[in-house]
Amino acid sequence: MRFVSTIFMCVCLLVMASPALAKEKKAEKQMDPQAMMELWKKLAQPGEPHKLFASLAGSWTTTTKEWLEPGKPPTESSGTADMKMLLDGRFLYQEYHGQMMGQPFSGIGIDAYDNMTKKYVTAWMDSMGTGIFIMEGTASADGKTITLKGSHPEPGGGKMTHRAVWKIIDDHTQTFDMYGAHHGQKETKMMEITYKRKP
């Protein structure tokens, strides 16, 4: 009920704002309020990407490789991840526990597919910082390879750009590879996590 009320309020606000928007964009045709409400309802429903997320719910063991220095072999560590769907199958929630750079590490992630923008969005927060890291991207035709991009500021200035490739191999295996580039330098592979579903 709260969700429907929120949608109705959004529609009302859009209708009230439409005269001002019309002045700025005279070429765009104003949408009928009832049609807008129906579109909102349609966009609010989980679809195929959300069903794929739901197939990942459960407990996982992880193996992580980290490339900490160029030209040197990666360090390896193990961990666990628990995943579940939130808000009636709309978002995938993950709690991760393992190691990072030789230290105990915990993180929380929320993955989404936005029906409006047709983009995948992930929000990540962990015990190694106080910010929320956001990435956005698209998927392959079958939806099982999701490529995400984002960036964050670095101490001392500048920013680091990231590219992640998340592959859902099957219901029991998934991989997450992270690449990064400091201050616009050449991109290098930083991390690789392999998830295996617990029996």
Per-residue pLDDT of the chain (199 residues; tens, 9 = 90+): 443 343 333 434 344 344 444 444 454 678 788 888 888 888 999 999 999 999 999 999 999 999 988 788 999 999 999 999 999 999 999 999 999 888 999 999 999 999 999 999 999 999 999 999 999 999 999 999 999 999 988 888 888 999 999 999 998 999 999 999 987 788 999 999 999 999 9
Q: Model confidence over 78-98: pLDDT tens digits?
A: 999 999 999 999 999 999 999
Cα separations in angstroms, 54 against 28, 34, 49, 89: 38, 31, 9, 7
In this prediction, residue 21 carries a pLDDT of 44
Token digits of residue 138? 């698209």
Quote the distance between the C-alpha of residue 103 and its chain's center: 24
Taking the domains of the chain in order of start, what are their residue ranges? 2-44, 49-197
The domain made up of 49-197 has a fold known as: Lipocalin (2.40.128)
Share of the chain above pLDDT 90, in %: 66
In this prediction, residue 28 carries a pLDDT of 64
**pTM score, two decimals?**
0.81
Token digits of residue 47? 């679809």
